Amino acid sequence: MPKFAANLTMLFTEKPFLERFEAAHKNGFKAVEFLFPYPWPAEEIKALLDKYQLELVLHNLPPGDWNAGERGIACHPDRVDEFKEGVAQAIAYAQVLGAKQLNCLAGKMPEHASAEQAHATLVSNLKYAAQEFKKHGLRLLIEPINFYDMPGFYLNHTQQALDLIDEVDADNLFVQYDIYHMQRMEGEIAATLEKHLAKIGHIQIGDNPGRHEPGTGELNYPFLFNHLDKIGYVGSIGCEYKPKTNTEAGLHWLKTVTI
């Protein structure tokens, strides 16, 4: 069974961020992920990872102004220099924290750019990031996100991500496949995972509707976990969902799997 990583941006939110590492450890997790480490010194986070014997499997590149509603800037033609600065910052954090792969949010479609300009910018930025990441042995991920939860987001479908990977033509670029987002956009979860496994670098989970813990919605997660074993997925599974009540009360689903 693949290892499960607690997403500390969405789980244990009853506690301040830096206290969630201990909570993840106490609840049996051996790995974590989160959106952004940048508000804290990398050394402070590394000390917590070491103290609680946690592996960091993933964090994201800087997204622009998240609090103002930005969700990445990789497709923004007027933000290329800022994007490149973010690549350098992300690499610096990954080197301290031990992360081996990082996710690049494509961003929302910019208002003052054509679809062609946004696409060309995204491809160029992904080529740059992949080249810089490769110098440091890092994998770059791109994530399709459903347009119901995130209207205007540029990247929405698995095939769109795969086409980008083909166009960028970098052997360290993969899909971050979020089962919740893709259930909302296209379904066919098991078949898609099997067909494109070689291009999927990381998987995240959440049930639908509501993006709550496995077992609260329509997805058959026991089947999907067994399916991932059957098809040979060996990466981590990020628990990126909103607990229906609180995190610990919603961890009952883990009793059915081995973490």
CA-wise closest residue to 127 among 176, 166, 78: 166
Kindly give the pairing relationship between strand 139-142 and strand 173-178: parallel
Residue 84 belongs to what H/E stretch? helix 80-97
Catalytic member of 143, 188, 213, 248: 143
What distance in Å separates the CA atoms of residue 59 and residue 238, rounded to the nearest whole number? 11
What distance in Å separates the CA atoms of residue 95 and residue 28, rounded to the nearest whole number? 25
Our answer to whether residue 240 is catalytic in this structure is yes
- Give long-range contacts, CB 8 A cutoff, 24+ apart: 162-167: 162/196, 162/199, 164/122, 164/123, 164/126, 165/199, 167/123
Our answer to whether residue 70 is catalytic in this structure is no
- In this structure, the number of other CB atoms found within 10 A of the CB of residue 67 comes to 6
What distance in Å separates the CA atoms of residue 231 and residue 223, rounded to the nearest whole number? 12
- In this structure, the number of other CB atoms found within 10 A of the CB of residue 10 comes to 21
Q: Hey, what amino acid is at 119?
A: H
Annotated catalytic sites, by residue?
Answer: 143, 240
